[in-house]
Amino acid sequence: MANIIVQKYGGTSVGSPDRIRNVAGRIKRYHEEGNHVVVVVSAMGHTTDELVDLADKITKNPPKREMDMLLSTGEQVSIALLAMALWDLGVPAKSFTGSQIKMITDGNFSNAKIQGVDRSRIDAALNEGNVVIVAGFQGIDQNENITTLGRGGSDTSAVALAAVLGAKECEIYTDVDGVYTADPRVVPQASKHSQITYEEMLELASLGAGVLHSRSVELGMNYDVVIHVRSSFNNNPGTLVVNEDKIMEKLKVSGVTAKNDQARITIADVPDKPGLAAVLFGDLSSKDILVDVIVQSSPYNGRNTISFTVPKKDLVQALPILESFSNSQGAKKPEINEEISIVSAVGIGMKSHVGVAAQMFKALAEKEINIEMISTSEIKISCVIPRIHAETAVNKIHETFGLSKNG
Amino acid sequence: MANIIVQKYGGTSVGSPDRIRNVAGRIKRYHEEGNHVVVVVSAMGHTTDELVDLADKITKNPPKREMDMLLSTGEQVSIALLAMALWDLGVPAKSFTGSQIKMITDGNFSNAKIQGVDRSRIDAALNEGNVVIVAGFQGIDQNENITTLGRGGSDTSAVALAAVLGAKECEIYTDVDGVYTADPRVVPQASKHSQITYEEMLELASLGAGVLHSRSVELGMNYDVVIHVRSSFNNNPGTLVVNEDKIMEKLKVSGVTAKNDQARITIADVPDKPGLAAVLFGDLSSKDILVDVIVQSSPYNGRNTISFTVPKKDLVQALPILESFSNSQGAKKPEINEEISIVSAVGIGMKSHVGVAAQMFKALAEKEINIEMISTSEIKISCVIPRIHAETAVNKIHETFGLSKNG
């Protein structure tokens, strides 16, 4: 039986007719080597944004079911065009929507979770000699309503297919050629990983080094699918995202990131009563406001100070909630600081190396950068610092942990 | 049980977000009167042309299955936006693709025929209080491949739904406010019909007065669905397309048209042997070249002259076929005249009125217009004349049969 290869091409890779033809050329090579090739594609370039703008001209509050109906057309255009480009090169190809391959999801429109895929139609098309092209980002619920998996969801479609089809590897083609130790635009010395663990990738993705959709990494981890992040513009090997046990030497720190889209909120003089934090953060999450770093001081005179970060774009929605909380609890008025950055170091090796946090704090101290909040997890240390020092901090931490090229 | 109304809005009617909101306002009124409203929409404005252009940049020879996959996205965008616009006006609405309502067709991509529709999902959505919005122009074959019904196919989707749902009338909203006795741009005195028969509409449609998709008229005729052609830009009643027996006084001539996109081909000295015409026209039809008027002279000295018209755009493809036919039969070289017009008069009343053809020839003679070919059917008379006289001819015939306003 032929080897099954699953490849995913992102919106930039299929952003124009010429690029689609290039992608077809690449797929042709794999097909001619005798592989069974299954390709997942995103919408072309800025199509999804354009569709969102179109909806915005109709209503400020589109029903999610109809939004998914609208957005899923972007990928459908891409699959048809890519199939045409392959036929034009003499390669038989068949495109399929999420509905046609029974990519079944829950009914959570705009952020649906995959529940299963029926491989029979894919197998039939492959056995006829076709390249199979699948629309990413989309599925159907039990009632055949069209659902979408959230921004970046095509990665998840691809990894799910790789898992169902038993492919050893899922290639994710994008406009960067792998996962770096830091954003090369900020840290010129950043270098590319040849391997990284799922856990590290998850932390890096959620920190905004957004190469992969988080759920695709979780799926890869759960089904042991190696994810190969690489560029569609060259033939260089990229970064393999793998299980921890496949990596011999675990780096203490494998990536350093800065997140600048957050604001810090501080509420002082909160009574030290059980359940108050749950009330506050429950109210925020009911408005879909994602709270990131949370720090609560030890109580003093029966009063606490709670600090946390929220996306700046959600401040307008968050403020009334915060003020009514402060008023009802007799706490101080919330203070807001938008000039912050969350600088983080991520590494699977932290689990077994002590002193990583101390090393990071020392690095920041050497640059006289004041740390305003600290939050740590098993494989991540995050510090909130003044926004103005973000670049200096990232470069210094990157250097401190020996990540710089020739460093 | 509530009254079911089926409405179809064409591409111009939903050509922009503002127009979509206007259409939603119109639908809302019908919904608030307590009707069950089912709406079929086309792709917005020039969307289909833009998608065809996109495919053309990928390949000059796109596989039809993938072309249908591509083009069907246009209507999917429209249904989602229209549903959003209705919700924005407080009207519950649900959009459905051809696949979701099981609009089953044959597998003839790009020109599929409807075989059936499953009304259960539509009924369920209507009974929940929704306006149901269906993507026109598209269906699926037995294997769930997406098919399209050919240009203008949304009319056919709408009439098919009206037939299946037992609606008394199918409203086709377009950018003209009905069916006229002639093209008002050519004949300023043209007037709007309040009623016209299916047969007349079929002849007028195939003559290029392309208000309705021909198959929609055939379906209406077969299932006795009254088709109401009207404008989406005002509230005037339009033209009802009905059964012959519903029309009391049948006009001898109900419409006059001119078709200027054809070229005349004449081949002289064709041997008078049985089967030769079948060979020639069989070869042309195998290349999808649609031959319109055909005239063959009585044989003289064992030789015939065959004249016929084909679309100018197909001349390049037709020529080699014609030349090889002439060579093999020892006939004269084909002569081509692109400066012609086919002027036709259509009327159900011709069946029972004699002398209509003579009246038409006399009208042309009065204007000293030479008739180059004549072809007649039960309810249509067509004359091929020099292109330069087309406007004069149409106006004169229109006047002759008493169709002009105040005339």
Interface of chain B toward chain A, CB-CB under 8 angstroms: 17, 20-21, 51, 54-55, 57-59, 61-63, 65-67, 69-70, 72-73, 76-77, 79-81, 83-85, 87-88, 93-95, 97, 99-100, 144-146
pLDDT at residue A406 is higher than 70: no
According to the model, what pLDDT value does residue B114 have? 94
pLDDT at residue B204 is higher than 50: yes
Percent of chain A with pLDDT over 70: 98
Hey, are the CB atoms on A65 and B146 less than 8 Å from each other? Answer: no
Beta bridge partners of B267: B306
What value does the mean pLDDT take over residues B99-118?
95
Residue B208 backbone class (left: φ over 0; alpha: ψ -120 to 50; beta: rest): left
| Chain B residues in contact with A54 (beta carbon < 8 A) | 17, 77, 81
A115 falls in which pLDDT band (50, 70, 90)? very high
Q: Pick the closest to residue B43 from B141, B170, B152, B158 (CA basis).
A: B152
pLDDT at residue A89 is higher than 50: yes
B300 falls in which pLDDT band (50, 70, 90)? confident
Determine the distance from the C-alpha atom of residue B281 to the mean position of all C-alpha atoms in its chain, rounded to a whole number: 23
CB distance B157 to B134 below 8 Å: yes
A407 falls in which pLDDT band (50, 70, 90)? very low
**SS3 breakdown of chain B: % helix, strand, coil, rounded to 5?**
40, 25, 35
Separation CA B186–CA B192 (nearest Å): 14
Q: Search chain B and give the residue with CA nearest A55.
A: B81
Q: Search chain B and give the residue with CA nearest A133.
A: B66
According to the model, what pLDDT value does residue A167 have? 94
Instruction: Report chain A's mean pLDDT, rounded to a whole number.
Output: 92
At A158 the three-state DSSP class reads helix
According to the model, what pLDDT value does residue A286 have? 86
Beta bridge partners of B171: B7, B228
Residue A77 is inside which H or E element, if any? helix A64-88
Q: Search chain A and give the residue with CA nearest B57.
A: A17
According to the model, what pLDDT value does residue B407 have? 43
Hey, are the CB atoms on A21 and B58 less than 8 Å from each other? Answer: yes
Q: Pick the closest to residue B38 from B66, B79, B76, B71 (CA basis).
A: B79
Which of B17, B58, B67 is opposite residue A88, by nearest beta carbon? B58
Q: Pick the more confident residue, B99 or A275.
A: B99
Of A354-368, B244-258, B379-393, minimum mean pLDDT range: B244-258
| Chain A residues in contact with B135 (beta carbon < 8 A) | none
Q: Pick the closest to residue B211 from B235, B175, B245, B181 (CA basis).
A: B175
For B131-182, write each residue's pLDDT tens digit.
999 999 999 999 999 999 988 899 999 999 999 999 989 999 988 888 999 9
HEC profile for B115-178? EECCCHHHHHHHHCCCEEEEECCEEECCCCCEEECCCCHHHHHHHHHHHHHCCCEEEEEECCCC
Location of structure tokens 């939004």: A67
pLDDT at residue A258 is higher than 70: yes
Hey, are the CB atoms on A65 and B20 less than 8 Å from each other? Answer: no
pLDDT at residue A209 is higher than 60: no
- Buried b or exposed e, range A81-110, using 16+ CB within 10 angstroms: bbbbbbbbeebebbbbbbbbbbbbbeeebb
| Chain A residues in contact with B95 (beta carbon < 8 A) | 66, 69
According to the model, what pLDDT value does residue A210 have? 60
Q: Pick the more confident residue, A176 or B228.
A: B228
ipTM: 0.84
Q: Pick the more confident residue, A251 or A25.
A: A25
Separation CA A280–CA B162 (nearest Å): 54
pLDDT at residue B391 is higher than 90: yes
Angle at A154 between CA A126 and CA A104, to 5 degrees: 70
At A275 the three-state DSSP class reads coil
pLDDT at residue B200 is higher than 80: yes
Separation CA A65–CA B133 (nearest Å): 13
- Distance linking the first and last C-alpha atoms of chain A: 46
| Chain A residues in contact with B139 (beta carbon < 8 A) | none
Residue B281 is inside which H or E element, if any? helix B276-286
Percent of chain A with pLDDT over 90: 73
Q: Pick the closest to residue A144 from B94, B165, B278, B77 (CA basis).
A: B94
CB distance B375 to B293 below 8 Å: yes
Hey, are the CB atoms on A97 and B73 less than 8 Å from each other? Answer: no
For B313-361, write each residue's pLDDT tens digit.
999 999 999 999 999 999 999 999 999 999 999 998 888 877 888 899 9
- Across the A:B interface, residue pairs with CB atoms under 8 Å apart total 113
Residues 6 or more apart in contact with residue B15 via CB below 8 angstroms: B44, B45
Residue A332 is inside which H or E element, if any? none
Phi–psi pair at A207, nearest 5 degrees: -85, 0
| Chain B residues in contact with A79 (beta carbon < 8 A) | 69
B56 falls in which pLDDT band (50, 70, 90)? very high
Hey, are the CB atoms on B69 and A76 less than 8 Å from each other? Answer: yes
DSSP for B62-98?
--HHHHHHHHHHHHHHHHHHHHHHHHHTT--EEEE-T
Residues 6 or more apart in contact with residue B249 via CB below 8 angstroms: none
HEC profile for A183-248? CCCCCCCCCECCEEEHHHHHHHHHCCCCCCCHHHHHHHHHHCCEEEEEECCCCCCCEEEECHHHCC
pLDDT at residue B287 is higher than 90: no
- Count the Cβ atoms, other than its own, within 10 Å of residue A296: 14
- Count the Cβ atoms, other than its own, within 10 Å of residue B191: 17
Q: pTM (2 decimals)?
A: 0.85
pLDDT at residue A370 is higher than 70: yes
Q: How far is CA B311 from CA A66, A336, B284, B383, in A?
A: 42, 72, 12, 16
Token couple for B54: 């996109």
Percent of chain B with pLDDT over 70: 98
Separation CA A277–CA A36 (nearest Å): 53
| Maximum Cα–Cα distance across chain A | 78
Q: Pick the more confident residue, A295 or B170.
A: B170
Hey, are the CB atoms on A58 and B88 less than 8 Å from each other? Answer: yes
CB distance A351 to A378 below 8 Å: yes
Hey, are the CB atoms on A80 and B70 less than 8 Å from each other? Answer: yes
| Chain A residues in contact with B59 (beta carbon < 8 A) | 84-85, 87-88
Residues 6 or more apart in contact with residue A56 via CB below 8 angstroms: none
Q: Which of B70, B78, B140 to mutate to test the interface with A (most CBs of A within 10 A)?
A: B70
What value does the mean pLDDT take over residues A251-256?
89
What value does the mean pLDDT take over residues B52-72?
97
β-pairing, A226-231 with A169-174?
parallel
Q: Pick the closest to residue B382 from B372, B396, B392 (CA basis).
A: B372
- What domains, with CATH codes, occur in chain B? 4-175 (3.40.1160.10)
pLDDT at residue A371 is higher than 60: yes
A208 falls in which pLDDT band (50, 70, 90)? low
According to the model, what pLDDT value does residue A240 have? 95
According to the model, what pLDDT value does residue A21 have? 97
According to the model, what pLDDT value does residue B207 have? 55
Residues in chain B: 407
pLDDT at residue B248 is higher than 60: yes
A40 falls in which pLDDT band (50, 70, 90)? very high
Q: Which of A53, A67, A69, A140 to mutate to test the interface with B (most CBs of B within 10 A)?
A: A69
According to the model, what pLDDT value does residue A255 have? 92
Determine the distance from the C-alpha atom of residue B126 to the mean position of all C-alpha atoms in its chain, rounded to a whole number: 30
Which of B21, B63, B83 is opposite residue A66, by nearest beta carbon? B83
pLDDT at residue B2 is higher than 90: no
Percent of chain B with pLDDT over 90: 73
Burial-class residue B143 by CB neighbours within 10 Å (0-12, 13-18, 19+). Answer: exposed
According to the model, what pLDDT value does residue B220 have? 94
For A210-253, write each residue's pLDDT tens digit.
678 888 999 999 999 999 999 988 999 999 999 988 887 778 89
CA atoms within 13 A on the CB side of A263: 16
What value does the mean pLDDT take over residues A142-165?
95
Q: Search chain B and give the residue with CA nearest A52.
A: B81
CB distance A31 to A91 below 8 Å: yes
Which of B57, B58, B84 is opposite residue A66, by nearest beta carbon? B84
Residues in chain A: 407
Token couple for A401: 């942990």
